[in-house]
A and B are shown apart, each in its own frame.
Chain A
Amino acid sequence: DAMVIQNPRYQVTQFGKPVTLSCSQTLNHNVMYWYQQKSSQAPKLLFHYYDKDFNNEADTPDNFQSRRPNTSFCFLDIRSPGLGDAAMYLCATSARQGTGANVLTFGAGSRLTVL
């Protein structure tokens, strides 16, 4: 089945210790997104890629970086996690952008705990 796979599902790190979360997709979608979602809150867009074009949301902290080495893979790096970065990180894909009917397919998420 075509899908979006995130690893790890659960990540525990110490305050300030770098973390990398990965996302892979077999849907051959052009667009990949990273969202941060805290409990009972709306998902917050951190970055998105259209093919290899990188788009950084204006209010995404510099502590967050992303890489997309090829169409299938995308990484989220948190350089120095703080307690406020504890959240679910959701990777999503879509076939295209610039259209209203742009359905997102999400991975299962990576839950980050910061001690």
Chain B
Amino acid sequence: GQNIDQPTEMTATEGAIVQINCTYQTSGFNGLFWYQQHAGEAPTFLSYNVLDGLEEKGRFSSFLSRSKGYSYLLLKELQMKDSASYLCAVSDSNYQLIWGAGTKLIIKP
């Protein structure tokens, strides 16, 4: 079966750095997405990786290793507004999105 694994919850301190990991087992791979979802709101797109390596977008970076079936989202200079769930999703061989359950990130002052 197809599976996406992420930690359920993480806690970090304002101003610090946090890394949210995602491992996947899917039938084929056509890219990996990270979405941010604030409580009670819809997901919003953060990043897309299809090749190995690091993609940087301001305070957020996303890394992919296809051989390891692994990605991480790195958030720097954490702000209180970064408190949200972070969803990892993989596009499989049929271009269907397989979603993880999300990692709830709690930021403390």
Contact = CB atoms under 8 A, between A and B. Distances in A.
A103 B47 CA distance: 9
Contacts of B101: 40-42
Given A42-B100, A103-B33, A109 B42 contact: yes
In the complex, the 8 A-B pairs of residues with the closest C-beta atoms, listed nearest first: A100-B30, A106-B42, A100-B31, A42-B99, A42-B101, A100-B91, A103-B45, A109-B42
A17 B101 CA distance: 29
Contacts of A105: 45
Interface string A83-115: 000001010000001111111111111010000
Contact of B45 (A40, A100, A104, A111): A104
Nearest to A109: B42
A88 B42 CA distance: 9
Interface of B: 4, 8, 30-31, 33, 40-45, 48, 50, 85, 87, 91, 95-97, 99-102, 104
Interface of A: 40-45, 88, 90, 97-109, 111
Nearest to A57: B96
Contacts of A103: 33, 45, 48
Contacts of A45: 96-97
A11 to B, nearest CB: 14
Given A101-B48, A103-B33, A104-B45, A42 B95 contact: no
A97 B50 contact: no
A74 B99 CA distance: 22
A105 B91 CA distance: 16
Nearest to A99: B95
A19 B8 CA distance: 32
Residue with the highest number of chain B CB atoms closer than 10 Å, among A44, A90, A106: A106
17 contacts: A40-B101, A40-B102, A42-B4, A42-B99, A43-B87, A43-B99, A90-B43, A97-B95, A99-B95, A100-B30, A100-B31, A101-B50, A104-B43, A104-B45, A104-B97, A106-B44, A108-B41
Contacts of B43: 43, 90, 104, 106
